[in-house]
């Protein structure tokens, strides 16, 4: 299963992180079954480890994917509800997660890991798409296991855990795959834990909770005398934090704290990463590799450069020491160890955050943005001459265009964001 360079062919179904969409519209059981078949054909049969998050649609789509694998002569090993990083660790010939990660409950998706626990390249995704309508030889089967969570938890506690006795930690599980798992992990390490977002019902994943909405966690921490709070997204590959006063600590700051704690010589981040992070790393002689947005591009850079630490502002934090992908729980445990004896607020203050303004504009079409728009954005960045920057990109997971503007003051960043939004509207019509 060699990894090839991308042919440049536009993928019709795969986005930034697998195939994702609203269930019953873009994402249907029929498409998921075809993906199961195509991926098993690409892997030449073999065993496919399959997990899912807590969405109501997950079980039906898991069954559809398994049918597809079996139709291609493969063996689907169904683990039920497990976090995405557990699938990466426990993968077989393939690892697959039925999840839409941080998206709302009406979304779902299919995310893939190869036999080494790495996310698939663009080229491999193109090869899988080319097999969606291929004939299926049949002859496969479906197995079920119930030990995946315990195996995963033992690995993370052993490799990333430390003594947390005396710490009081609030944990928001996003009503997702970490419900019941993450609070148990912190408690086993000696922390006093209070959990929210730990009662998934199939319809409440990422709703008013988790890494995409920190308000409930902030309120809990402000009134409860906690050392810090941590929040995961629905499938567990993102983690954000709040300090003892309820102030948000984003992925850039978490990676900065861990870079200094672990003493790394290189970090990989994305184009969204704050200028303050780059300046801190420059001061500390840490080389920064910048990638396109998407944790798989950060992973590719780390593997290519021999690094172990990277991440995204959105909360993907990757430590490849004893792991193969980003892991929200592992990152949270490392962060707790790093701030023990001080405070998260003090540890995070080492990085100055430059004001950023962000905006998502709806867009019906998928695919690349017009070159005329990209050229216009480039002209604005040249005009700014280092005094700020703008970034415009299509989302790989939702039908929107994402705008980021960064400047010396909040007012300047907001004005710049508004200016670019008008430019995008004009170019896209």
List, for residues 241-295, the tens digit of each pLDDT value: 999 999 999 999 999 999 999 999 999 999 989 988 998 999 999 999 999 988 9
List the domains of the chain with CATH numbers: 14-146 (3.40.120.10), 150-348 (3.40.120.10), 356-428 (3.30.310.50)
The band of 83, judged by pLDDT with boundaries at 50, 70 and 90, is very high
Looking at residues 46-75, what average pLDDT do you find? 98
pTM over 0.85: yes
Model confidence at 11: pLDDT above 80? no
Instruction: Check 101, 151, 162, 372 and give the catalytic one.
Output: 101
In the predicted structure, residue 6 carries a pLDDT above the cut 60: no
Mean pLDDT of 404-420: 92
- Is 101 in the active site? yes
Q: Is the pLDDT of residue 1 over 70?
A: no
User: How many CA atoms lie less than 13 Å away from 310 in the CB half-sphere?
Assistant: 34
Pairing of strands 47-52, 75-81: parallel
Q: What residues form DSSP beta bridges with 429?
A: none
Residue 427, pLDDT score: 84
- For 135-190, strand residue ranges (E) read 141-144, 168-172
Structure tokens at 306: 């021999």
Length of the chain as a residue count: 429
User: Contact at 8 Å (CB) between 74 and 140?
Assistant: yes
The pLDDT, as a whole number, for residue 16 is 78
């Amino acid at each position: 299963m060699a990894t090839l360079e991308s042919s440049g062919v536009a993928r019709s179904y795969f986005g930034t992180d697998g195939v994702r969409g609203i269930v019953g519209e873009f994402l249907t059981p029929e498409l998921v079954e075809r993906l199961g078949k195509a991926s098993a054909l690409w892997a030449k049969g073999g065993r496919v480890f399959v997990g899912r998050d807590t969405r109501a649609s997950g079980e039906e789509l898991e069954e559809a994917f398994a049918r597809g694998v079996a139709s291609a002569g493969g063996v689907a090993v169904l683990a039920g509800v497990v976090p995405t990083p557990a699938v990466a660790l426990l993968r077989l010939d393939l690892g697959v997660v039925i999840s839409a990660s941080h998206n709302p409950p009406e979304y779902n998706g299919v995310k893939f890991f190869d036999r080494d626990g790495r996310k698939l390249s663009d080229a491999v995704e193109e090869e899988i798409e080319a097999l969606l309508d291929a004939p299926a030889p049949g002859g496969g089967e479906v197995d079920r296991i119930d030990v995946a969570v315990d195996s995963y938890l033992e690995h993370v506690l052993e490799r990333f855990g430390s003594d947390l006795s005396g710490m009081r930690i609030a944990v928001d599980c996003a009503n997702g795959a970490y419900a019941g798992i993450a609070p148990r992990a912190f408690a086993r390490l000696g922390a006093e834990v209070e959990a929210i977002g730990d009662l998934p019902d199939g319809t409440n994943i990422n709703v008013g909770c988790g890494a995409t909405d920190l308000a409930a966690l902030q309120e809990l921490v402000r009134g409860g005398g906690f050392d810090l709070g941590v929040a995961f997204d629905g499938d567990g590959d993102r983690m954000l934090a709040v300090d003892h006063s309820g102030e948000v600590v984003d992925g850039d700051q978490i990676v900065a704290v861990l870079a200094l704690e672990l003493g790394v010589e290189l970090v990989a981040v994305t184009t969204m990463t704050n200028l303050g992070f780059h300046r801190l790393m420059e001061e500390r002689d840490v080389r920064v590799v910048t990638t396109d947005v998407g944790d798989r591009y950060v992973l590719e850079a780390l593997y290519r450069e021999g690094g172990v630490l990277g991440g995204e502002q959105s909360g993907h934090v990757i430590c490849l020491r004893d792991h193969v992908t980003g892991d929200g729980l592992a990152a949270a445990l490392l962060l707790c160890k790093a701030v023990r004896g001080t405070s998260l607020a003090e540890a995070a203050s080492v990085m100055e955050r430059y004001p950023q303004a962000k905006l998502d504009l709806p867009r019906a079409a998928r695919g690349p943005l017009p070159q005329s728009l990209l050229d216009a954005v480039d002209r604005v960045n040249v005009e700014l001459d280092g005094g700020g920057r703008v970034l415009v990109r299509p989302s790989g997971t939702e039908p929107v265009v994402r705008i980021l503007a960064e400047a010396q003051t909040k007012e300047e960043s907001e004005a710049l964001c508004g200016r670019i939004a008008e430019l995008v509207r004009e170019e896209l019509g």
